[in-house]
Each structure stands twice: as structure tokens, then as C-alpha cells.
Amino acid sequence: MSLVVGIDVGTQSVKLIAYDPAACKVVAAHGQALQLIAHDDGSREQRAEWWIDAIRACFAKLEPAQRGRIVAVGVSGQQHGFVPVDEAGRVLAPAKLWCDTSTQAECEEIMAAVGGDRRCIELAGNPILAGYTASKLPWTRKHRPEAYSRLATILLPHDYVNFWLTGERWMEHGDASGTGWLDVRTRNWSAPLLAATDAQRDLAALLPPLVDADASFPIAAVIAEELGLPHNVRVSAGGGDNMMAAIGTGNVAPGVLSMSLGTSGTLFAHADRALVDDGAGWAAFCSSTGGWLPLICTMNCTVATETVARAFGFATQDGDALLADTSPGADGLAMLPFFNGERTPNLPQARAALHGMNFDNFTRANAYRAAMEGATYALRNGLESLQAAGMRFDTIRLTGGGSQSGVWRQMIADVFELPLDVPEQSEGAAFGAALQALWALDHTEGGAADIATLAREHVRCAPALSTRPQATSAAAYRAPYQQFLRHLESAQQFHSRASRE
């Protein structure tokens, strides 16, 4: 039977799954690790060719018979990255990534040029935050002027992979809304914000055309030959990793809260209208299904637990066992896990802090719990913003690497006081990309498949991983959570004063 493939180009690795929709079964899953270029100024970059080499390696791990059954490919990519491409399609510089905080000054410059962050929200639905694509353009103009002068096309990471696969340049609304330039209400580029980014250049001419979420394109013959794929393979529009994870966790209808525990932590939900917050409590993004995806993104999730584990000399796989003798609140130890700075709330210059240490509670187990709790509390704080907007949720769908931890699953259920389910396909973004490819292929062939129906048919949860809140534990987390919020408020006040001085 035919197979559809989902590719997720993440920060730490590229993942590929091959899915048999007739059997509702993943027949192969492969991954390839990626390097990261990090500098003390907050720069976080990767070379686009690393993604392509990793994709090649993943396809090479598929059996030839499996490659011959592939009919469609969908690509998920880390959001907000900037891949500068010249007229011939050559990459001009390393790609600056979503977790790059070196462009904070450029964020302020763009917002000041249009009249401040409130005006940005009026124009496009979002302020220009550190990590968003918009600020990477003036940074490149200042620090890589030769690359900027030769720039012909602005591509996001998943756009670049699509370009490599098909030879065509396009964007779709979900990932495009993470640039900072797209008015999420109208799904059109904001001319004032583009002009504020570079008043001397027509950036609109550098942006590829926007396509509908169910669009697809033929794979380039030379790439089909190289990868050992049939020449009739279709490549779907794709989308940002959060947009694809929404599909992969079945979050394409109201009432479901998806949570991803990866390097960053995210919360997102489906909306049938643009949900814009005047206070920028969440990102007002479009989805990659034709709807909208209000989203909370914290920049420090598994990176916090991994950092603590590495510092104390143990593997995160051993973390659950280590926490067996700890309790909610980590005996008074509390962590603001801002190792990468922070996006929600907007504290790009913040750093991690460990509070409440004494001779008794400063143990590796409590420090690890404090990191896990801090990452969870940061997401719970985001949930309250969505609830304040009137959104209500019946359940959490959990994905990402952190979802494999039983202790973390129970912690989330208790802290959020919501039942939690884990889809059988742990790689939600790659699986969502495969489902979008299936949806787009159906439409290309004249069908009218509904993405919500497809999600109900193919997204299945693992009963053994379902977790329900426990009343005693839920109550035990309430005071530590309030203490976390007090530490967070102090950090916000400190950085607010520092920015004025």
C-alpha cells in the first residue's frame, strides 16, 4: 500500500516517519542528530546543508521497497528561522534560529519605527519578539552586509527544505505568521512592518507567494532520483513544527490543549477565528489547516532538565527514578529555567535562577525536580492567559521528548488539573506533516477530505500513558506555583528597570 512521509526539521535533530494510512500504522521512523552553533551574544545558528544531509541520511535508512511506495511528503520545520537565499537558490549565510536572542535591539528598532509594540499588534496581531524572523533581517544587514546585498528570497527552515525538494519557493500562512510581518487577521503581509524592517528595500518582493494549507507541488525529478522515490510524489505546503504538531495531536477542533515538551515548551489550541491579545500574552498565529493557532512558547523546557542532569552527572533517562523520593515543591527549591532567555513572558536577556537553596534541600534530585517544575509552571502561566481570553479545555494532548517521562506526565496533569493523553505517535510534528501530506494529496486528486475527520481517524492515544490529576498532588503544587509566580514577577521588574537604565 501507499505511504506518506512526514519530515520534522528540529533544532536537535531531523526526524522522518513513513506512515501507511490504510493500515493506520507507522512502518518506519528514523532520526539524525544536528549540530548547533552557539555564541555568547545569544546567537543560535545552523547551516541549511546540515538539514539536507540529515534528510538524505533518514531516507537512506528506509528500505528500497518502502521508498518505492511513497506518494506524498510533508515537511515540518522549526519556526522563525531565517534562511537567506540568492537568485540562484544558494544559501548565503548560516540560518539564524528561533532560539537566537542576539537580535533584541533590532526588535526594538522595528517596533519603534511603527510606533511601539501596541501598534505592531494592531498591524499584524503580534509584537516583534526576539527569535521572530523579522528582526533577523536588519541584524543580517548590519553584520553580514554582503549576504544581505545578494539576498533574493527570504525562506523559513521548512520553506527551504520544500525548495530543495521541489525547486519551487513558497510559504504557507501558519509558518509565515511567525515572521512578525503577516497580519494574522487578513492573512496578508503588513506593508508598514515590512517598511519598518527595511525602509530602503522592498522586502515584499523577497517573500515567496503564500499558498493555501492544502496545496501541494511535484517533487523535483533530480531529487526523486537521488532519494530513490517515485517521480509522482507530491510535497505538501508543510508548516511550522507547532502547526504540524497540532495536526499530529489531533488539535484541529476546539476544546483540546496541545502541549509539546521539547527544547522549548509550547501550548497551542485550535480557533476558528483570529485570537489576538492586546497584551501579547500569546502568539496569535495562523494554523496550517486554514484556521488559527493561539500559541504560548517558552524557550526553556527539556533544555532545563537536560542542563541540570548534565551538571550533576546523570542521564535524563534516569531522572524519573531519581525523583522517586522527592515531593511537589522540591523542599522549597524553585527555578526560573531561563537558560536561553525567555519569550513568554518576553525576557530575552533573562538567565536561569535557582531560589530557596539551603543545606538540606540542595540535592541533585531536588534541583532536577525544580527544573522540571519550573518548565511546567512557565507553561501553566501561559494557560492562564488563554483561559482569560475565554478559551476552555477538556484535555491535554502531550507530545515531544518530555512526554516519555511518567513523572512529568503526572506533574502536568496535577499542575494543570486536567486529564492528559499521549498520542501513540510521539513525534507529533513529523506525524502531523505526514497527515497534512495525506490531506493535500486527496485534494490534489479531486477529493474533499476534511482535516478534522482525518485527524479523528488517524490520531490515536496510548491508553497506558493517559494520566489523570490526583487531588492531593494537585493541591500540593498550588503554593509552589504561586511562589514561582512571585519569583517571575521579581525577574520581570528587574529586567524592566534594567531596560530603562
With cell 525536580, the residue in question is: 369
Count of structural domains, the chain: 2
Domain boundary residue, one of 177, 206, 241: 241
In this structure, is residue 428 part of a structural domain?
no
Q: Do residues 48 and 95 lie in contact, with contact meaning Cβ atoms separated by under 8 Å?
A: yes
Q: Which of 241, 264, 291 is the last residue of a domain?
A: 241
**Does the structure show a pLDDT above 90 at 315?**
yes
Whether residue 386 is found in the same domain as residue 474: yes
Mean pLDDT, the chain, integer: 95
Return the SS3 of 91: strand
Q: What is the pLDDT of residue 75?
A: 98
- Cα radius of gyration (the chain): 22
Q: Which of 260, 267, 296, 292 is nearest to 279 (CA)?
A: 296
What would the mean pLDDT of 3-17 be, rounded to a whole number? 96
Question: What's the CA gap between 31 and 16, in Å, rounded?
Answer: 6
Q: Which residues contact 157 (CB under 8 A, 6 or more apart)?
A: 9, 48, 51, 77, 78, 79, 81, 83, 95
| Dihedral-angle region of residue 372 (phi above 0 means left; psi in -120 to 50 means alpha; beta otherwise) | alpha
- What is the rounded CA–CA span in Å between residue 211 and residue 484? 43
Distance separating alpha carbons of residues 383 and 435, to the nearest angstrom: 27
Positive or negative: CA dihedral 143, 341, 318, 268? negative
pLDDT class of 343 with cuts at 50, 70, 90? confident
pLDDT of residue 324: 95
- Residues 214 and 334 occupy one common structural domain: no
Handedness of CA 109, 111, 113, 116 (dihedral sign): negative
Q: Are residues 298 and 414 in the same domain?
A: yes
Tens digit of each residue's pLDDT (9 = 90 or more) over 383-433: 998 998 889 999 999 988 899 999 999 999 999 999 999 999 988 899 999
Rounded to two decimals, the pTM is 0.89
> Do 368 and 494 fall into the same domain?
yes
Greatest mean pLDDT among 58-72, 275-289, 343-357 lies in 58-72
For residues 14 and 111, membership in a common domain is answered with: yes
Judge whether residue 499 has pLDDT over 90.
no
Closest CA to 302 of 294, 290, 292, 310: 310
Q: In 231-340, which ranges are E strands?
A: 234-236, 239-240, 256-261, 265-268, 283-286, 292-298, 334-336
Cell 537566537 found at: 100
Are 129 and 179 part of one and the same domain? yes
Please name every residue paired with 70 in a beta bridge, in sequence order, or none if there are none.
3
Query: 226 and 285 in one domain?
Result: no
Task: State the Cα angle at 87 between 85 and 92, rounded to 5°.
Answer: 30
C-alpha cell at 76: 515540518
- The count of C-alpha atoms lying within 13 angstroms of the C-alpha of 165, restricted to the half-sphere facing its C-beta, is 32
CATH of the domain at 70: 3.30.420.40
Quick one: 391 and 310 in the same domain? Answer: yes
Residue 435 falls inside a structural domain: no
Instruction: Confirm whether 69 is domain-assigned.
Output: yes
Q: Are 271 and 143 contained in the same domain?
A: no
Catalytic residue among 8, 241, 414, 442: 241
Give the contacts of 255 (CB within 8 A, at least 6 positions apart).
Answer: 392, 393, 394, 395
Residue 219 shares a structural domain with residue 292: no
**Higher model confidence: residue 253 or residue 107?**
107
CA nearest to 206, candidates 44, 304, 82: 82
Structural domain includes residue 463: no
189 shares its domain with 330: no
For position 1, what pLDDT does the model report? 87
Higher pLDDT, 253 or 337: 337
Write the CA distances from 488 to 228, 310, 484, integer angstroms: 52, 25, 6
Residue 64: exposure state from Cβ atoms within 10 A (0-12, 13-18, ≥19): exposed
Q: What is the DSSP letter of 423?
A: B
Res 501 pLDDT > 70: no
What is the residue range of 174's domain?
3-241
Q: Are residues 32 and 96 in the same domain?
A: yes
Indicate whether 443 belongs to any domain: no
Active site residue 40: no
- Mean pLDDT along residues 139-145: 98
Q: Given 184, 213, 241, which residue is the final one in a domain? A: 241
